[in-house]
Chains A and B, each alone.
Chain A
């Protein structure tokens, strides 16, 4: 347990960033428009920038990007690394959390389901690789099916 001292109207985003030093979750717009602040609350993707602490109950489980996996080995993270999805990377915590929640609910999402669930903004424009990486995971996790032929430091080409 960690105890923090924050006003109850503080949005979860700012409690995470400023009181718990969990800065992986990002501030992008403050109006739930961009998704950079997406976390999981009880497994659901939730935008945290307008969510006051008062609305969260003690039995809820909050997972941020830092807690998604022990060693950056969640299926989404692995696919993101294999396909070099991020550019600047600022939006990617939120995108990854949104995608992880989508894949839990729909392990093999259609393009329409991806379009509806992943409404995060990425100004670098990584959308094609985001979609390719989702399909890699949905189809069993072999990044080779994306056909990008990226040469990794361990010598593998995927």
Chain B
């Protein structure tokens, strides 16, 4: 139907665009045609490495690139062992369907939790090493010399004794016929030549000339476009709609219900679909949560701060007893709101459904989960479905665990079999239907002895569990272990960096109707605020230096301590901060451990006479074990602070009449360049483990700034975000 010629309405003036003189250049990239690589002979040496006759090396990447640089980092890991020419490396994604058909030969596709590199580093390096051995074996067979006499460097294999040389491209076809070796030794860290280098990303050029195709940019032949409105109250349904006024609009093809809660307009262009949908009246049954509000849920959380039904996450000694018996007690309640991912590219997917097969093109952080969503929504077995992973315009956790937009796209496409339909959410739809950062509060109580020593601490976390919303099957006996991120006694993933003689950390789960999601940094974000700001409160209440108090509690946590000490040394903590533009500068510290990495930060701020916050500089340190690409780790740290400061300064979604009140960037502001502090990164890989880098430093942004605000003003901000609260000195 979409291939019918467009009927031109003669009453409308035609619009001419001047395409001459470097104006609208029409040399754009056409998807799925004339791929230059198709004309070369490519040999799949093994699952990870494809070598072309012209020596181009294609490294397969299972994880999704969404800005975090994993594409380049993972390619570095493979290339390190492969000994290929880095300047000839390109990358490609295997599809989730291929992974399924090949018994998950590429492992996990999930891209979240800063796991891409740390979880797959071993097997992708082995993939590179196996391919190298196969290429060398092929050369040794061709030359009839022992492989042990061969040397390899930058994709060239040489046999010194006979003076012969060949390239990967020349032996790749023969290598591809060899068995994949199993017993593989990896290089020692001291021999790394690619890992640890400040290499440029592999995917930059197309991002500066408009050629990078994101999911939203894909256009298939005969494709139609859909705009959607889901019930603005979570759990509500469509009662009725009147498409009479829009049916005859130019371009409008069909108006459909999607599940029982959404209405979509399908049109030739998305703009036609969106404007038609906006012109339609839809009656909703708002359902059970029609009167839900943030204020009401806050009361639930306040009660939970004292409830008896808490699950224990970390316990040492008898904290409650010791606090009750202590010479002095200190208590504070902190709160952290719902927040939206606000990826720059709104949710979108193209689906093409026939009764035999369903295909989806979408930006996703987890191609396999997307494939499962396609199979479930289409009713077809996964073997008859496929997902093509498109580049993501930001992910931040929104595009990983839950593929609600993919299900919608499939349900829409099912109503037009054979026609590819692109579903794109408007920004407003995207804001309303997020998977939100969980809402929690925390009551912290400290017991101090008569000398002011901190002898016991109780952290009562009250509030939302992400797992309860995303993967309730993983909640065992009411416990969501992810809630205690950064507060665990051990485990290597997210450990508390202090030893308290008596400690109790517990969680009273209370779930509002707002659906939660993994949000970049996850629960580490608020847990670091709770603990790091309260430690600062203890320091202030007992007249201790915030650094010294921390270091004293960290004697058994040398790795936590090392990053904090590095930050303190860099800023010269023991000396006063120099003025900036005649303004006095104040500092705040924080540290935590999450996603396998140790991080710390010091924020330097000034508060103007009028109470405006100026964040001049943040110095951050990370020990991520091994640092694969330091310049990209720096980029992640800088980005983490932009993300964490957006949250700290402005990030809040509120509920009224059951629906999210924020609709776009005017009501959900995020950090801009004029608010971005200078960030200095200290990358201090200590070896011996692999830690994530995309998320951990987010968590130290807010507490460092909040502690600096206190140092500057004496004002203790305990309710996030900071916006709307007076910072005028008291």
Contacts and interface: CB of A to CB of B under 8 A. Distances in A.
> What interface size band does chain B fall in?
35 or more
A4 B66 contact: no
Given A15-B17, A64-B25, A26 B204 contact: no
Contacts, number: 265
Interface in A1-45: 1-8, 10-11, 14-31, 33-34, 36
B23 A62 contact: yes
A88 B399 CA distance: 14
B12 A8 contact: yes
Q: Which of A16, A23, A25, A148 has the most CB of B within 10 A?
A: A23
Contact of A14 (B271, B396, B640): B271
Nearest to B17: A2
Contact of A67 (B22, B270, B673): B22
Interface stretch (B206-214, B294-302, B413-421, B619-627): B206-214
| Secondary structure class of chain A's binding surface, majority of residues | loop
Most B CB atoms within 10 A — which of A22, A58, A70?
A22
Contacts of A17: 217
Interface in B1-56: 6, 8, 12-28
Nearest to B216: A27
Nearest to A76: B208
Interface in B647-676: 664-666, 670-674, 676
Contact of A88 (B67, B87, B209, B342): B67
B201 interface: yes
A109 to B, nearest CB: 12
Most buried by A among B17, B20, B395, B424: B17
Given A33-B665, A61-B23, A118 B16 contact: no
B393 A7 contact: no
A31 B19 contact: no
Interface in A59-76: 60-70, 72, 76
A125 B14 CA distance: 41
B673 A115 contact: yes
Interface residues of A, number: 87
Nearest to A2: B19
Given A58-B16, A61-B21, A24 B197 contact: no
B200 A153 contact: yes
Contacts of A70: 22
Contacts of A149: 198, 631
Contacts of A66: 24-28, 209-211
A56 B225 CA distance: 25
B643 A125 contact: yes
B271 A90 contact: no
B22 A92 contact: no
A24 B209 contact: yes
A3 B16 contact: yes
B28 A121 contact: no
A121 B20 contact: no
B346 A89 contact: no
B641 A125 contact: yes
A144 interface: no
Residue with the greatest number of chain B CB neighbours at <10 A, chosen from A65, A88, A130: A88
Given A123-B342, A131-B676, 7 more contacts: A1-B20, A5-B12, A120-B672, A121-B670, A124-B67, A128-B638, A150-B198
Interface of B: 6, 8, 12-28, 66-69, 86-87, 197-201, 203-214, 216-217, 219, 225, 250, 269-271, 342-346, 391-396, 424, 426-428, 631-632, 634-635, 638-643, 646, 664-666, 670-674, 676, 678-679
Closest 3 CB pairs of A and B: A24-B210, A125-B642, A88-B67
12 contacts: A2-B16, A6-B15, A24-B211, A25-B210, A28-B665, A34-B665, A60-B18, A70-B22, A86-B201, A93-B210, A126-B639, A149-B198
Interface of A: 1-8, 10-11, 14-31, 33-34, 36, 53, 56, 58, 60-70, 72, 76-77, 80-81, 84-93, 96, 114-116, 118-131, 148-155, 157
